Amino acid sequence: MGSSPPNVPTIRVFIAGGSYAGLSAAANLLDLGQGLSPRMSNEKYSHHPDLPRVNWDITIASERDGYYHVIGSPLALADAEYAKRNWIKFQDLPGLHDPQIKFVHGSVSSVDCEAKTATTIDNATQLATTHEYDYFVAATGLRRVWPVVPQSLTRKQYILETEEHIHAVANAQHGVVVVGGGAVGIEMAAELKMVMPGIKVTLAHSQEKLLSSESLSDECKDKAMELLQQGGVEVLMNHRLATTKQVETSDGSSKYEIEFTNGHKLLASEFIMAVSKSQSTATYLPSSALDEEGYVHIRANATFSPGTPNADFHLCAGDLTKWSGIKRCGWALHCGHFAAHNIHQLVLQKYTGQEPKFAEFDEVAPMIGLAIGKTAVASGPEGTVFGEDIMKAYFKDDLGFTICWDWMGLAGRKREEPSA
């Protein structure tokens, strides 16, 4: 990038979170600052002639030391080679190699919205650092437990964590039981069976239908069940977990005795708990910004709802948003793009007086895309579709890694400017 004219402002943006929403916001900001249309937009962006360029000073704080493709978790915990490509250290993301972006490997401990400062705790040194900002984006998502996502915070430790898990399930001579028939449990069981067809995989769910906590059609839920069974997974419905205990076998191997409230007992070498309620990570924000479950109250333009100091300078993107719809990667990417668009609009308002033209969220209907082994099911307001072609369209052959990588431009911006 060449030198900028002296009247180009430098805007400080602090992004809490280095996953889909946070990286999407940063990538699209880079484009807007260079006078381009944001890479995730299908429409040409109208820049103001008096402010064609903006310099950004972007800080991204992340507990992990890299970008982790969360959608790929079920396969990363079954295939060691896939696991290695599913976590990319931030320094190895060409599309974000820019002097305008710096990464902080640590957690956000507090945000003073009135002073517009954020405090981070470094993962290695545990030292606190205060960062001043002009705009803040809350994109830390939800706290998900094992095995929904690995718990490691460095790529090195993550590789060890996944290898240990993969070794255990690969040697599960008494089979693997996955408890929980939500999206995570379904995909976990399906990927294990696909990668390790010789291992017996059983999925147990407490309700009459899979995906019982989601407002999806019975057609979608039934099709998920059918595809799971076609993939070789044994499915037990109306099986609520009661107890588990580890027991020794006559050959010296260990296994679990799993008992359900209906009296049914199972023995398995490995037991995977895929039932948990994800927790908000927004404990660093003032209570005025949050609902009772820790989600951030936002307006349709992603800024905080009135009631929090400097609400117009604070935005939320991704799973932390208090908004309609099922929490999905697509929503997080969409939010990050809109957050970048609207920050730039606010900057234009400040420096040119132009009335902002915000990108605004619509209400989101329940929708989902599920990879189930070699096939997939997708469902939304238009209905339910399934098959290997749906798998290719929604996930390609790597559980959506390439789709997300390309859409965020993590290898560098390649998309052409959209025509007017």
Q: Per residue in 73-118, pLDDT tens? A: 999 999 999 999 999 999 999 999 999 999 999 999 999 999 999 9
* Mean pLDDT along residues 139-160: 93
pLDDT of the residue at 13: 98
Task: Report percent pLDDT > 90 for the chain.
Answer: 91
Q: Are strands 55-62 and 101-112 parallel, antiparallel or unpaired?
A: parallel
pLDDT of the residue at 252: 72
Amino acid at 258: I
Length of the chain: 420
pLDDT of the residue at 2: 41
**Paired residues of 271 in beta bridges:** 177
CA 134 to chain centre: 25
Identify whether the C-beta of residue 87 lies closer than 8 Å to the C-beta of residue 144.
no
Among 11, 22, 13, which residue's Cα sits nearest to residue 281? 22
* Mean pLDDT along residues 222-234: 98
Separation CA 306–CA 296 (nearest Å): 12
Which residues 6+ apart lie within 8 Å of 403 measured at CB? 394, 395, 396
Q: Predicted confidence band at 415 (pLDDT cuts at 50, 70, 90)?
A: low
Among 360, 315, 109, 77, which residue's Cα sits nearest to residue 195? 77
Angle ∠(106,62,323) on CA atoms, nearest 5:
130
Identify whether the C-beta of residue 270 lies closer than 8 Å to the C-beta of residue 169.
yes
SS3 assignment, position 219: helix
* Mean pLDDT along residues 117-146: 96
Q: Per residue in 272-321, pLDDT tens? A: 999 878 999 999 999 999 999 999 999 999 999 999 999 999 999 999 99
SS3 assignment, position 194: helix
- Omega into 147 within 30° of 0, i.e. cis? yes
